Amino acid sequence: MSDQDLRQQVLEAVRGLAAYGLGPSIGGHVSVRVPGERKFYINAFDKTFEEMRLQDIALLDFDGNVLECETLVSLGQTFHHGIYKQRPDVNAIVHTHGFWITAQSAFGRSVRNLHNLCTYFDQRTCVSPSDDFSAIGPALKDSDIAIIIPWHGAITFGASLAAASALHVTLDYAARLDVTLPADAPQMPEHLCAEMKAVLARANYLDVTWDLIRRKGRDNFDGQRVIARPAH
């Protein structure tokens, strides 16, 4: 995949996430690793996901140096190259302060298994006291796909931007269930969790959801910005 393709993919991701209502304010970032290099593309800081253009996708190296950027880069980008260094299997990272994800983060724990899709995060989510990699690194396990940052937001990541983005909108959905359902709501039994994980893997759910994210981004872009239409 060319550098232009990688930048375009980040733009598609931020616009799609914006369509889900995950990028209405300043803050949050999406990145993708440049294959075979110690570099990654990430969106700039001074625009919302809804406003992003191709020129707002910056190139950084694994020391945090800005190599290509026409605008500002978030000071909070350091955990991206930290995760890439620690987890060679991770090729893309998504971080937002979406409403439901942020509400969930106040609990300081992973989402409860209240629905089939929640099982993606079962025993695969760590909690870090901050978004600084000095805190994230020791908390992060090799099997983790998500990080909850208490009173802040969440991070999802995967082998592709498709996986990282699809996991993020799925986590937002799971967080909404967790926040709105009562504390004594029954959780899915352990044996059903295992069954559902296998079903979701066979269904190729994350790739299909990535296609949906990109469609939403395209369909809701009015030529100037994405008009968010989050589910109610």
Number of domains within the chain: 1
Q: Could you give phi then psi for residue 121, rounded to 5 degrees?
A: -100, 0
pTM of the model: 0.95
Q: Is residue 170 part of a domain?
A: yes
Q: Is residue 229 part of a domain?
A: no
Q: Is residue 228 part of a domain?
A: no
Q: Average pLDDT of 109-117?
A: 97
What CATH number is associated with residue 76?
3.40.225.10
In this predicted structure, the answer to whether residue 129 has a pLDDT above a threshold of 90 is yes
In this predicted structure, the answer to whether residue 230 has a pLDDT above a threshold of 70 is no
Q: Is residue 227 part of a domain?
A: no
Q: Which among 184, 217, 201 has a CA at the least distance from the CA of 116? A: 201
In this predicted structure, the answer to whether residue 232 has a pLDDT above a threshold of 70 is no
pLDDT digits (tens, 9 = 90+) for 131-190: 889 999 999 999 999 999 999 999 999 999 999 999 999 999 999 999 999 999 999 999
Can you count the helices (H) and strands (E) in the chain? 7, 8
Cβ-Cβ contacts under 8 Å for 222 (sequence gap 6 or more): none
Q: Could you give phi then psi for residue 96, rounded to 5 degrees?
A: -140, 170
Range of the domain at 28: 3-219
Q: Is residue 226 part of a domain?
A: no
Question: What is the pLDDT at residue 3?
Answer: 82
Q: Is residue 55 part of a domain?
A: yes
Task: Determine what percent of the chain falls in helix, strand and coil, rounding each to the nearest 5.
Answer: 45, 15, 40
Q: Which among 87, 61, 90, 59 has a CA at the least distance from the CA of 167? A: 90
In this predicted structure, the answer to whether residue 229 has a pLDDT above a threshold of 90 is no
Mean pLDDT of the chain: 93
pLDDT digits (tens, 9 = 90+) for 177-224: 999 999 999 999 999 999 999 999 899 999 999 999 999 999 999 999
Q: Is residue 184 part of a domain?
A: yes
Q: Is residue 91 part of a domain?
A: yes
Q: Which among 93, 108, 80 has a CA at the least distance from the CA of 159? A: 93
Question: What is the pLDDT at residue 231?
Answer: 63
Three-point CA angle 151, 142, 14, nearest 5°: 55
Q: Average pLDDT of 9-30?
A: 93
pLDDT digits (tens, 9 = 90+) for 41-79: 999 988 999 999 999 999 999 988 888 876 767 767 789
